A and B are shown apart, each in its own frame.
Chain A
Amino acid sequence: MSDANRKDYVWHNPLAVWGTATGNEKADSIEVPDPRDVWDENRAFKVPTYKVGRLKHYIIWPTHGDRLWNRMRWWPTRRNLLHIKGQYNRKTLAAEKKIIDRRPIYWALCLLIIALGPLFFPADMMNTLMTAGAIFGVFAAINVCWTLIIGTASIFSLATYAVVGTAGFISSWVSIKYGIPWYFLPFIGSGVGLIFGAAIAIPALRLDGFYYALLTLGLNELCRVFFTTSNEFGSASGGLYGASTFVNDTWEPITQSMVTYYSSFALLIGALFLFRLIHGKRLGRILRMAPEKREAFAAACGVDYKRARITIFVVTSIALGFIGGFYSAQYRGIAFSIFGFDTVLLGLAMLAIGGIGKAEGAILGTLVVVFLDKVLLELGPIRHFMIGALMLGVVLFLNNGYFGIKQQFNAWRDKKRGEWRSSRSEKGGEALPEEATEIEDKDDLYFRRFDKLQRDYLKGLVTPQIIEEHRKQPLGQHSEALERVLLYFRRAKMEDKYALHRAGAQGPYKIIAFSGVRGVSPRLVDDREYATLDEGYHGVFMRRVHDLMET
């Protein structure tokens, strides 16, 4: 309230007419404004306001308290199917169940969609989609393994497709040359993967991060040149074909593509299980303890991160070799394009689009890239252009691919909220919005708000007139303005409330403050002495006025 709104007037003590007045007979004072004005003024926001608090993330299911522990488990272990928390509703006290981690549901749904996909493919696209689906399964399996290497083991290897290709070529070659049946090929591939993985794991022990990435990029090129130029591996025909296969030529074409589709799908499921077994169990947990640049700390805690990384690398190489052998058993052989630089690029695009380090990221990225590359065939060379543009866009704008969007968005939103709030922080003394959502007793929030408004109102009433009025007569009837201020002061909490201490029988008086705690004696506020009780009252009043104006 500005000074212009104040109206001075002379207050007459109503009791003076009867001669029973204990206070001033009359005093200069000010008109008291309506307290509701301050309330209305403060409640009106001058800036746009936004809803505060968290959205309801969790679906809450009703349950009976007895059945809270009655959960579905993976037979024969005690593991739960879902991470469920039991709780009691704070208002109704009803027992509730809350699914903390809903990812298994999403996984099951998405895998179900892939499994039932062929039923919903349009008939004119059936062939393309089945082929693309089979390729998606194989590539998704490779990328899930690659995620284990890049994400879990933090070894930035670009030689994944080289391992798959080498295993594929050698198993095809063995099958053609010695007539090995198809069911041995994945295992031959695994052996090749083991040898290859162990061989390229040796430099990984010594080199770090990007040196290794560049080296493996070169290794990939080395494999390409070696296999395309060697005569044994069919340098003329664009690949090595003729291996034994489980897809029978005499079957109907649709049966053949169904078998390929579902065998690839089974391969993907196998890769996901491998991911779960490594990433979600001991090795993965060890390595989550030792993220990049904190290896020394982890090592000091007794984590042998190098051993864990190499173990993962070798195990994953075996799996990649298995996939290579499976590939040649499924497609009767393998093409040189597996070693191509474009294949590595598309693979990295798949990982980058979904988000490196997450199995779901690898699968989503593979889905997107395979769809662009194998389904939209009629677009021509612009497909790869689109994939490149998508990859560039994702890398430029997203911190960790599609599945990092939520986290990145939340961080950005929190930052923006902080900025907006600081630009409109005019409501001092009240609880901040986030604080308010965490405070259990909402009465406390209302009290703080009311108290702040009241202080704002009373600050406008403190004028030289009422101070002078109080100095003349601290006790007795006062003008309304002074009376309102005094009422507020008297209602203060015991903690730090001022009082007068009489030093001798007739004075002088000193100001003390109560501790607010029973048994703890009051403290002396300062050494100033007041000769009479009225002077002491006025001293206390001035102190409180001072405190009020400070807040």
Chain B
Amino acid sequence: MDITFVLTNAIIVACIYGLIAIAVSITWSSLGLINLAYGFIFSFAGYGAWMMAEYVTENPALVAATGIAVGALGGVIVCLTVFIPLHDKPNFTTRGMIATLAISLIGSQAFLMYFGPRPKALPEIFGFWKVDFLGITLTSDKIGIVVCSIAMLAVVVFWMRGSRRGLEIRAMMMNPHAAAIVGIGIRSTGVYVMAMTGAMAGLAAILLSQTYYISPFSGLTPLIKGVSIALCGGLGSVQGAVIAAILLGLVEALTNQFLGGQYVLMTQFLVIIMVLIVRPRGISGLLDKAREQ
């Protein structure tokens, strides 16, 4: 193990968990919903892609597209069951969080009942090939993961910057009440946001299943890591999430290298707690511009 291997691993981990972190972050800042059902969306997308690969075709592009589409569908389901009924009720934040947790409980039990506890494997999407880059051997899945997640992130960022819907979402992030007053529909925006972030979680599921299997509870670790990264980077900030993803990926890789795998979470949480004690709203969160709802 050398330092380049550590760094590539850090980047890959950061890419996958960063996607979920940004999804959590965008949902919180635009809708005020702490969506802890990304674990469910993650498994949902994974099973969707697996069914595509199992029963229809193993074409990598189609499998990946199915995963993303099913993830977006999962996001819309969460939006319809949680956000739309609850967003104007008292204690929305607490109730929304508990409702998303309930969805993830129901969802994982449903997967357990329907698909059984045995994990499922997805086909290799990126094939088997290697590239020597400046003396570093990069396998196909590593390159694929990095390229796909960066591409997804770029698409999301450009869509948020350039499109009408993105403008609405950014308006919601700045001030939801003012956005509602100037005619931006909270519910319709909620559907777009959840579909988009669900698609990101779906892509994360596809990418992570290149390394791990899909099982009813496989979404939990990515969710917790994603939430931790979002928290560390500052909820509501995309660049903060990117920085935090790289930082925590680095911590994970270094801990793996020098201390051993079982200490990864400990060092990560120590780093997160230290960051949060110094900056209570995360790396690039603003202190007094927290979303209040």
Contacts and interface: CB of A to CB of B under 8 A. Distances in A.
Interface of A: 156, 202-203, 206-211, 213-215, 217-219, 221-222, 225-226, 229-230, 293, 341-342, 345, 348-349, 352, 356, 381-382, 384-385, 387-389, 391-392, 395-396, 399-400
Nearest to A389: B106
A221 B224 contact: yes
B109 A215 contact: no
Q: What DSSP secondary structure best describes chain A's contact surface? A: helix
Contact of A384 (B82, B90, B109, B281): B109
B224 A218 contact: yes
Contacts of B90: 399
Nearest to A392: B102
28 contacts: A156-B94, A209-B93, A210-B28, A210-B97, A213-B97, A214-B34, A215-B273, A217-B227, A218-B224, A218-B228, A218-B265, A218-B272, A221-B221, A341-B217, A345-B104, A348-B98, A352-B102, A382-B113, A385-B109, A385-B110, A388-B103, A388-B106, A391-B101, A391-B105, A392-B102, A392-B103, A396-B81, A399-B91
B102 A388 contact: yes
A399 B90 CA distance: 7
Contact of B86 (A225, A345, A385, A396): A396
B6 interface: no
Given A210-B97, A356-B94, A396-B86, A221 B102 contact: no
Interface of B: 28, 34, 36, 81-82, 85-86, 89-91, 93-95, 97-99, 101-106, 109-110, 112-113, 217, 220-221, 224, 227-228, 230-231, 235, 261-262, 265-266, 269, 272-273, 276-277, 280-282, 290, 292
A219 B103 CA distance: 22
A391 B78 CA distance: 15
A381 B112 contact: yes
Max count, chain A CB within 10 A of own CB: residue among B82, B98, B269 = B98
A435 to B, nearest CB: 29
Nearest to B277: A206
Nearest 5 A/B pairs, CB to CB: A388-B106, A388-B105, A392-B102, A391-B102, A229-B262
Given A217-B224, A356-B94, A226 B273 contact: no
A221 B109 contact: no
Given A217-B224, A218-B228, A391-B105, A226 B280 contact: no
Given A211-B231, A213-B97, A381 B266 contact: no
A342 B220 CA distance: 10
A202 B277 contact: yes
Contacts of B290: 208
Contacts of A388: 102-103, 105-106, 109
Max count, chain A CB within 10 A of own CB: residue among B109, B228, B282 = B109
Max count, chain A CB within 10 A of own CB: residue among B95, B105, B109 = B105
A209 B97 CA distance: 12
Nearest to B273: A203
Nearest to B279: A206
Given A207-B276, A214-B231, 12 more contacts: A203-B273, A206-B280, A210-B28, A211-B281, A214-B230, A215-B231, A352-B102, A381-B109, A381-B113, A388-B103, A388-B106, A391-B98
B106 A399 contact: no
Contacts of A226: 262, 265-266
Contacts of B105: 342, 345, 349, 384, 387-388, 391
A392 B89 contact: no
A352 B224 CA distance: 22
Nearest to B85: A396
Contacts of B261: 229
Contacts of A348: 98, 101
Contacts of A392: 81, 99, 102-103, 106
Contact of B276 (A203, A213, A229, A382): A203
A159 to B, nearest CB: 11
Contacts of B230: 214
B38 to A, nearest CB: 12
B269 A352 contact: no
